[in-house]
Structure 1
Amino acid sequence: MENRINIQEVAPAAYQAMYGLEKYLSTTKIDPILLELIKMRASQINGCAFCLNKHSADARKIGETEQRLYLLNAWRETTLFTEQEQAVLALTEEVTLIANHVSEATYNYAALFFDEQHLAQVIMAIIAINAWNRIAITTKLMVD
């Protein structure tokens, strides 16, 4: 498989805008492990090999376990994830699979764990990784 267009070179201002969102997310109240779980789960759903490779390595560096990474795609079938993580993973799935919309039940469950500002940050993190997945998949960004 061959890379397609390199958006970072062709449209650097657009890429910098995306990096601006990432910089913002790094300053939020989102727990770094939870942020990596968001990135991993959306990337699993979207089939983004580049992002899965990057974020599994990033998650390990900050202490995420191999077992939880291996079981992330079956998080409902295990007790390894906290209720907060489960709420965010459910929200991540529904935002990623947006054609089915985000249910009131899923949104309200996530809202139990966060104030409005923190929930907004979680939603933006989900949106950001979905955008990165779409860039990587469309341009066929390759895993090194």
Structure 2
Amino acid sequence: MNTRIDFYKASPDAMRAMMALEQRIAQSGLEPPLVELVRLRASQINGCAYCVDLHSRDARKAGEDERRLATLSVWRETPFFSERERAALAWTEAVTLICQTHVPDDVWDLAKPQFSPAEITDLTLLIATINAWNRFAIAFRKLPA
């Protein structure tokens, strides 16, 4: 598989817009470990090798437990995640797979008590942004180094 284009060079303005979203996410107040779990889970669902590699490394650098990373794809069957993390992961899966799920009420019912309205909005921005990054990386065949 070969990289198709360097999208950073092809459209610096588009990448500046993406980076502005990342700046907003960084200022959101969402916990950095939660942010990395969400990025990694969405990237796993989308099959983005570049982003799975990147965000698993970022999570490790931030001190994330190896066992949690190894079981993230089966988080429902493990005791390793908090209720807040479980709600975020369920929300991540539903929003990432929106054409299949339409974000059902039971997922909303999990998320609502765990996140303030501002936090759930920021979480949704995070999910939308990582899904956009996944689409750039997959479409243009960005490869792990």
- TM-score band, normalised by shorter chain: over 0.9
Matched, 1:104 2:105: yes
Question: Tell me, which stretches of 5 or more residues in structure 1 are unaligned?
Answer: none
Q: Secondary structure at the match of 2:71?
A: helix
Structure 2 match to 1:73: 73
Superposed, which structure 2 residues align to 1:1-144 within 5 Å?
1-100=1-100, 101-144=102-145
Task: Supply the RMSD in Å over aligned alpha carbons.
Answer: 0.7
Q: What TM-score comes out, normalization by structure 1 length? A: 0.98
Cα shift at 1:108: 2.4
**Structure 1 runs (4+) greater than 3 angstroms displaced:** none
Q: Alignment identity in percent?
A: 44
Distance 1:72 1:91 in 2: 14
Distance 2:133 2:17 in 1: 12
Distance 1:10 1:115 in 2: 38
Question: Tell me, which stretches of 5 or more residues in structure 2 are unaligned?
Answer: none
Cα shift at 1:109: 1.3
Q: Which amino acid aligns with 1:49?
A: A
Q: Secondary structure at the match of 1:35?
A: helix
Aligned residues: 144
Q: What TM-score comes out, normalization by structure 2 length? A: 0.97
Q: Secondary structure at the match of 1:40?
A: helix
Q: Could you report, residue by residue, the CA deviation over 1:2-48 in whole angstroms, capped at 9, with x for unpaired residues?
A: 10022211111001100110011111110000000000000000010
Distance 2:109 2:122 in 1: 15
Q: Which amino acid aligns with 2:42?
A: A
